Amino acid sequence: MREVNHFIGGQQVTGKSGRFGDIYNPNTGDIQARVQLATEAEVAAAVENAQAAFPAWSNTNPQRRARVMFEFKRLLEANMDELAELLSSEHGKVVADSRGDVQRGIDVVEFACGIPHLQKGEYTEGAGPGIDVYSMRQPLGVVAGITPFNFPAMIPCWMFAVAIACGNTFILKPSEKDPSVPLRLVELFHEAGAPDGVLNMVNGDKESVDALLTHPDVKALSFVGSSDIAQYVYATGTAHGKRVQAMGGAKNHGIIMPDCNMEQAVKDIVGAAYGSAGERCMALPVAVTVGQKTGDEFVERMMDAARGLTIGTSTDPDAHYGPVVSAAHKAKVESYIQMGVDEGADLVLDGRGHTLQGHEKGYFIGPSLFDNVKPHMQSYKEEIFGPVLQVVRADSLEEAAALPSNHQYGNGVAIFTSNGRAAREFAAQVNVGMVGVNVPIPVPVSYHTFGGWKRSAFGDTNQHGPEGVRFWSKIKTVTQRWPEGDIGDQAFIIPTMG
Ligand code: NAD
């Protein structure tokens, strides 16, 4: 059976732990490969390699570092088809969606190509008599990234492209559910000219994450995954003196105003709610309709739109979405549907028990639609992460806007309206990190910055964009003086610029 190895010091390394994770084909339920799960010693070997590579890489001028990024971008584009197919085969999302996943990664690599400009410091000439002040951004050292299953191309690139461009050396610990694309990214990065040890990858589970969190030579750590683990990673990493950013789960709301373009809103939301089987942290699993008439029309149209979706294998070019990632996840999503029914919400479309002829053991779930969901329900409060859309009815924009603002998660939110003033006010006031106005999935472009609020993110610096550069570098400020002659008694007082 195919095995996914670690990548340490410029080459694939076979793990010695004797522990493996199974990699499934979500279309069939078969095990298609297995992945090595690293021990603490194997993580330490990766850190040692990254540490050895750091002095030379951090002293490589930014323009040369950028050239590796340019070549990496070219290789990602040249290998797009292979990467997208491999990604679909382990994740289950359809190939068109996998291409989007890779493309969003390429976008961040493109951003990292600009590092000579992005890392420039600031300079003040003549801050005092003969005194100049300047700042510089320096890399941190060995840093690490721990990534989830749902964007195995984009999220690793969010982290290592920016971190390495800044002059750090990196350990990637991808999800053990679909590690083959991350391994290909690491290989391509070396093919692009990165020196050995600059980017390493260890596969693993909690043991390898804990090893990274406690290793004294790991200076910063970025995590994306579910909230309880994000909180644990943030608490443990910071307690061990590391800089940590830890992105967590989500429950994004879409506010449907009576004055919106209903046809467009339904088209947008059917893709945002059910696309990628709902396994996106920026999916839109809650629609809040304002007013009775808006709610009735939305539910009726959405029912038709959802019924019209084609669920197929990840290789089916006609499928809107494929299977979810695992049997355990399928069972979890279906248990949330049952919870919604038990709590008294109206299940107007039930996706459970969906089978695909010839793929009866695949992890397929049809689209589910709930009406009259109430904010006190557990199935509303928690993240489901499946093809389930919950409609909550509100009487006013104030009532609707309070729902995402008061929810435990605060990743993304969207409003559908033709009223610019209301949208502007909503965007300014809502207690959520990323806002869409007539945009259902407001994932910021790579040169802006990605991050949610509340239990969707622990730590205060976002991914990529200028915030990413800040996270992966530390600032040093130099105050220099070239005095003429003796400074006399002034040596005994705190220097002032006056
Ligand atoms: P997950 O939390 O199960 O796993 C994420 C990573 O943590 C993986 O690398 C995994 O190996 C590791 N891990 C698992 N258990 C661990 C433990 N006990 N201790 C330490 N590490 C552990 O998440 P997932 O199921 O892979 O991904 C889906 C989740 O990620 C969803 O909650 C989704 O909302 C979230 N997500 C958030 C964002 C964001 O930017 N906010 C983006 C994508 C996904």
Q: Is 260 a catalytic residue?
A: no
Using a pLDDT cut of 90, give the percent of the chain over it. 95
Judged against a pLDDT cut of 90, whether residue 495 lies above it is answered with no
Give me ligand 1 centre to Cα 173, in Å: 11
The two three-digit tokens of residue 424, written as one number: 């502007």
Judged against a pLDDT cut of 70, whether residue 235 lies above it is answered with yes
454-470 residue pLDDT tens: 999 999 899 999 999 99
As a whole number of angstroms, the distance between CA 465 and CA 321 comes to 30
Give me ligand 1 centre to Cα 223, in Å: 8
Evaluate whether 322 touches 85 at the Cβ level (below 8 Å).
Answer: no
As to burial, measured by CB atoms within 10 angstroms (0-12 exposed, 13-18 middle, 19+ buried), residue 328 is exposed
The two three-digit tokens of residue 72, written as one number: 């990496």
The answer for residues whose C-beta is within 8 angstroms of residue 300's C-beta and 6 or more apart is: none
Give me ligand 1 centre to Cα 230, in Å: 7
Q: Ligand 1 pocket: which of 36, 90, 226, 432 to mutate (most atoms <8 Å of CB)?
A: 226
Q: What is the pLDDT of residue 492?
A: 73
Pocket of ligand 1 (CB under 6 A): 146-151, 173, 175-176, 205-206, 209, 224-226, 229, 247-250, 281, 383, 385, 411, 452, 456
As a whole number of angstroms, the distance between CA 398 and CA 400 comes to 5
Atom of ligand 1 nearest to the CA of 450: 40
Closest-CA residue to 324 (of 156, 178, 174, 206): 178
* Residue given tokens 């443990």 in the structure block: 236
Cα distances from 329 to residues 20, 95, 246, in angstroms, run 19, 21, 22
The Cβ of residue 79 has, within 10 Å, a number of other Cβ atoms equal to 17
Q: pTM for this structure? A: 0.97
Q: Give me the catalytic one of 113, 157, 166, 281.
A: 281
Residue 488 pLDDT class (50, 70, 90 cuts): confident
Kindly report the protein residue whose alpha carbon is nearest to atom 39 of ligand 1.
247
Atom of ligand 1 nearest to the CA of 457: 41
Kindly report the protein residue whose alpha carbon is nearest to atom 34 of ligand 1.
249
Q: Ligand 1 pocket: which of 22, 224, 324 to mutate (most atoms <8 Å of CB)?
A: 224
Q: What is the pLDDT of residue 498?
A: 65
Q: Can you say whether the dihedral through the CA atoms of 319, 299, 372, 434 is positive or negative?
A: positive
Going by their DSSP bridges, the two strands 409-410 and 453-454 should be labelled as antiparallel
43-73 residue pLDDT tens: 999 999 999 999 999 999 999 999 999 999 9
As a whole number of angstroms, the distance between CA 168 and CA 395 comes to 52
* Structural domains in the chain, sorted by start: 2-248+457-479 (3.40.605.10), 253-437 (3.40.309.10)
180-198 residue pLDDT tens: 999 999 999 999 999 999 9
- What mean pLDDT value characterizes the chain? 96
Give me ligand 1 centre to Cα 225, in Å: 2
Q: What is the mean pLDDT of residues 296-311?
A: 98
Q: What is the pLDDT of residue 388?
A: 98
Q: What is the pLDDT of residue 63?
A: 97
Q: Ligand 1 pocket: which of 22, 43, 101, 149 to mutate (most atoms <8 Å of CB)?
A: 149
Q: What is the mean pLDDT of residues 84-112?
A: 98
Distance of alpha carbon 253 from its chain centroid, rounded?
18
Give me ligand 1 centre to Cα 308, in Å: 31
Evaluate whether 236 touches 213 at the Cβ level (below 8 Å).
Answer: yes
Evaluate whether 321 touches 309 at the Cβ level (below 8 Å).
Answer: yes
Closest-CA residue to 139 (of 367, 363, 372, 474): 474
Using a pLDDT cut of 70, give the percent of the chain over it. 99
Q: For the chain, how are helix, strand and coil distributed in percent, rounded to 5?
A: 40, 25, 35
Kindly report the protein residue whose alpha carbon is nearest to atom 7 of ligand 1.
225
The two three-digit tokens of residue 366, written as one number: 């049809």
Q: What is the pLDDT of residue 130?
A: 85
Q: Ligand 1 pocket: which of 281, 432, 461, 471 to mutate (most atoms <8 Å of CB)?
A: 281
Cα atoms in the 13 Å half-sphere on the side-chain side of 292: 0
Atom of ligand 1 nearest to the CA of 233: 20
Give me ligand 1 centre to Cα 393, in Å: 31
Q: Determine if residue 369 is left, alpha or beta; phi over 0 gives left, psi from -120 to 50 gives alpha, anything else beta.
A: beta
Evaluate whether 394 touches 373 at the Cβ level (below 8 Å).
Answer: no
Give me ligand 1 centre to Cα 224, in Å: 6
Evaluate whether 41 touches 48 at the Cβ level (below 8 Å).
Answer: no
Amino acid identity of residue 353, one-letter, is G
Going by their DSSP bridges, the two strands 434-437 and 412-416 should be labelled as parallel
Atom of ligand 1 nearest to the CA of 173: 9
| Beta bridge partners of residue 63, listed in sequence order | none
As a whole number of angstroms, the distance between CA 372 and CA 389 comes to 11
Rounded to 10°, the helix 95-112/154-165 angle is 10
Atom of ligand 1 nearest to the CA of 204: 11
The Cβ of residue 263 has, within 10 Å, a number of other Cβ atoms equal to 10
Give me ligand 1 centre to Cα 159, in Å: 15
Cα distances from 106 to residues 76, 102, 237, 446, 469, in angstroms, run 7, 6, 29, 9, 17
